[in-house]
């Protein structure tokens, strides 16, 4: 059984860079979608609109610095 450690930053030629990028994009996107789903009462927790905007701005900044580096 092969275990993939996404947090291992060593220069391993067999580790896929594309999988690491997908993993680093999927987790913040999933959190943001959960916040939006909470705002629309799809999942049962109360989220105000200002929280959606703030977390959205943080997510956009994350994407900006993630793709810029």
Name the residue ranges covered by the structural domains of the chain.
27-68
Question: What mean pLDDT, rounded, does the chain reach?
Answer: 84
Whole-model pTM: value is: 0.71
Looking at residue 26, its pLDDT comes to 93
Report the candidate in 50, 47, 18, 23 with the shortest Cα–Cα distance to residue 33. 47
Looking at residue 53, its pLDDT comes to 97
pLDDT tens-place string over residues 6-39: 566 566 656 678 888 888 899 999 999 999 999 9
**Are the beta carbons of 36 and 20 closer than 8 angstroms?**
no
User: Cα–Cα–Cα angle for 66, 19, 16, nearest 5°?
Assistant: 110
44 pLDDT higher than 60: yes
């Amino acid at each position: 059984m092969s275990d993939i450690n996404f947090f291992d930053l060593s220069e391993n030629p067999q580790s896929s860079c594309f999988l690491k990028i997908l993993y680093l994009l999927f987790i913040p996107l999933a959190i943001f979608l959960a916040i939006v789903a909470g705002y629309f009462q799809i999942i049962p927790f109360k989220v105000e609109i200002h929280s959606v905007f703030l977390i959205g701005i943080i997510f956009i900044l994350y994407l900006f610095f993630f793709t810029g580096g």
